[in-house]
Amino acid sequence: MVVRGGHVAVIVPVKRAADGTRVLGLPKGHPDPGEAPEAAAQREVREETGLTTELIRELGEIAYSYQAQHGTVAKRVRFYLFEYRSGDLADHDHEIEDARWMALSQAARELTYEGERKIVARALSQLSSDR
């Protein structure tokens, strides 16, 4: 999760939700072999948003499951808070349809998935207490 002022970078992946709707979410992905989780998160942010960032802290994990053709898939996603340093959201990769800045409070209400909305709310709370 990348913040700049009171805004967060959000993405709309090319891949749609199971029901075919567009997803508004946070950048995320998988670590490469031997890659530290923090480094993987920073790389995925750079690839999916075009932004260069600085790690602030870990935000926590969400766990969820979904139905796939071969059965139920359980997932755990660890989120990190990054501060924007440079770059342009237009430089996102081909897996992303759109990347844009959104007010943190708006993202906490409008992201597609509840777990990601909770992560944004947690970051908003932590950022407010840092001031």
Quote the pLDDT of residue 128: 81
Count the domains in the chain: 1
Which H helix or E strand runs over 87? strand 71-87
d(CA 2, CA 45): 8
Quote the pLDDT of residue 131: 56
* Angle, vertex CA 73, rays to CA 71 and CA 75, nearest 5: 175
Containing structural domain, residue 22: 2-130
pLDDT per 10-residue tile (average), the chain, 131 residues: 96 91 95 95 97 96 85 91 97 96 97 95 86 56
d(CA 89, CA 96): 10
Quote the pLDDT of residue 7: 97
65: its two tokens = 């499951």
Report pTM: 0.91
- Other beta carbons within 10 angstroms of residue 2's beta carbon come to 29
**Residue 86 maps to which CATH number?**
3.90.79.10
